[in-house]
Each structure stands twice: as C-alpha cells, then as structure tokens.
Amino acid sequence: MRAIRLHETGGPENLRFEELPDPAPGPGQLCVRVAAAGVNFIDTYHRRGLYPVALPRVLGGEVAGIVTAVGAGVTGFKPGDRVVSARALGGYAELALLPAEHTVLVPAGVETVVAAALFAQGLTAHCLVSDVFSLQPGHTALVHAAAGGVGLLLVQLAKQRGARVFATVGNDAKAAIARAAGADAVCVYTREDFAAAARAFTAGRGVDVAYDGVGRDTFNGTLDSLRPRGMFVSYGNASGAVPPFAPLLLMQKGSLFFTRPTMGDYTATPAELQARAADLFAWVMSGALRVSIGATFPLAEAAAAHRAIESRQTTGKILLLP
C-alpha cells in the first residue's frame, strides 16, 4: 500500500509518500480501505514534535472507509461494512488499522466522506457543549476560529442548545460563513479587539464560556472576555501552546475556571462513543447539523494539506483522499 510516513519531526516537507507492506489486523482490530482521512491540528502537532510520538510513524487518526478484514475477537463488524474512527493507527494511507472498540458503523443516510469530515471534530464539539461546559438556553458562548472545522460545528451545536454565540474569525469571508452557521455576532479579530467586543455583546458582563482552539495568540483576550466565574475551555493550539501561567491569574480575572479537555477522555467507553456518534449522525441526516468540507487533497499531497491547515486560511474540514 501507499502511505505518508514521518521519519523525523519538522516541517511539512518531512511527510514522505512511501510504499509499505499491507497491514493485517491483530486481535480487536479492523483493517479498512481508507475512503477519506481527516487532517487535524493534532496531526501537525505530531509532525512538529509538540505532541511527541514514536518514529517512524504513519500519521492520521481519523478515518472512514470499508472494512476489508477483522481481527480475532472482533464482533459487530464484517468485511464490506462502512465504518469511521477517530483513533485509527496510520490513517494517512490506503489501508489502516482501527481499534474495533473505538470504531462505529456509518449509517446508510450518511456518506462515507461526510462521516470522515464529521467524526473527530464533531465528537470534540459534542463533548465541549454537552459535558465540558453544559450549555443551556440563555448562556453566552465565545467561539474562536468559528469558520474552521470544529468552530463551525460548535456554533451550530451551541445554537441548537439555546445559547447565544459570539464568534471570532480572521477575515470578512470567514465572518460570512460564521454568520451563516448561526453566530449571533461575529468579530474579525485581526482588526478588532475581540475582548472588548465580547464585553459589548454581553452588556459588559462577559461570556459564560469561551471555547478556544487557537491557543497562544488569543489567550489573554479570552481571559478578558469571560464573566466572573466563567469557564475558559482550551481545546487546541493552532497558534502555539498557551504560555505557562500562575493559577493566581484566574482569581485576579474573576475566579475563573480553566480546563484543557481531550476528546478521548469524553469517549472513553464504547457506549459513550456510540451515544455521541448516534447524536451526530442523526443531526446530519435530519439537516440540523451541516458538515462543511473546505478542501480535499490526494494522499500524496499531505504536505500541502498540512500547509493549508497551518496557514489558518482554510474553512471547514480538510480531507486526504487516497
């Protein structure tokens, strides 16, 4: 099979297009012919070494495709099934291994490519609005990078739960996309003070919760956007890691709460994964949740896909198509 493999950390040029032996599923695993692999910021963190992984490694944890073989002890799956997982082993490839306990069947009403575009970011958005901070009618939420993959889903799910959404984006084109997704107010943070705008949006009070996947560049402004006892949800590092800070800062800013969740801890059991996936698929099939595929790249052009996502000029989901 052909795959993208990383031998040493660094820039996108370190992603090598190689021929590798076809994988065989071990106990508890599925082998899948990849229809689409999601490109996520965590893949760039692995490539750069921000989140260290053993090398050499085929990157990519998000895969949708067709089961070709099942390993010992696997039940509930058979060759020919359409499946999706956010914990693939080597998703940037023509064939990938998936842990059966972290894989779900794709229902007939959802296209395979849409499942790939939805899954990791949809699960993230689902847990952020339902459990990390349980949004309720009347809450106000700040969503950074609201035209991005997670951001677009967050805006829609927050509105679905009755919250008012203040969104930030990088340019006017992205502002239009965020508004179309349902944001109540949008700030182009490259030319406006988003913290002041968030305060104005809430009549000076501050937002109840801020969902920040940007990291370093927005950290201070996000703190200043929150109401007393509000929650800062830091779920990504698109601009770089949040700098170290003293817990005393949270007291000084109004007894704030700060959390750094990971989707894996909110899909820790097959039952929890299946429940969140069922919600997402049902919303897609009913039209309540729209999935935006911003760009697709051939597998061999994984480096270009990484450059695109790291440029922060993209919208929606980026996929690799083997």
State the DSSP code for 93.
B
Grouping H, G, I as helix, E, B as strand and the rest as coil, residue 242 is: coil
Phi, psi dihedrals of residue 49, rounded to the nearest 5°: 95, 5
pTM as predicted = 0.92
- E strands, the chain, are 2-6, 15-19, 29-39, 57-58, 63-70, 82-85, 95-99, 103-105, 140-143, 164-169, 185-188, 207-212, 226-234, 257-259, 293-298, 317-321
d(CA 267, CA 1) in angstroms, rounded, equals 30
| Cβ-proximal residues to 321 (8 Å cutoff; 6+ apart), any chain | 35, 36, 113, 296, 297, 298, 299
pLDDT value, residue 238? 84
> What is 104-134 written as a DSSP string?
EEPPTTS-HHHHHHHHHHHHHHHHIIIIIS-
Q: How many residues does the chain have?
A: 322
What's the N-to-C CA distance of the chain in angstroms?
Answer: 10
pLDDT value, residue 316? 87
d(CA 40, CA 62) in angstroms, rounded, equals 8
pLDDT in tens, the chain (322 residues): 999 999 999 999 999 999 999 999 999 999 999 999 999 989 999 999 988 999 999 999 999 999 999 999 999 999 999 999 999 999 999 999 999 999 999 999 999 999 999 999 999 999 999 999 999 999 999 999 999 999 999 999 999 999 999 999 999 999 999 999 999 999 999 999 999 999 999 999 999 999 999 999 999 999 999 999 999 999 998 888 898 999 999 999 999 999 999 999 999 999 999 999 999 999 999 999 999 999 999 999 999 999 999 987 788 899 999 9
Structure tokens at 211: 């969902």
State the DSSP code for 171.
S
Residue-range domains of the chain with CATH: 2-119+268-321 (3.90.180.10), 137-260 (3.40.50.720)
Q: Which residue type occupies 150?
A: V
Residue closest to 165 by CA, chosen among 190, 198, 120, 122: 198
d(CA 32, CA 91) in angstroms, rounded, equals 9
pLDDT value, residue 186? 98
251 HSE (CA, 13 A, CB side) = 3
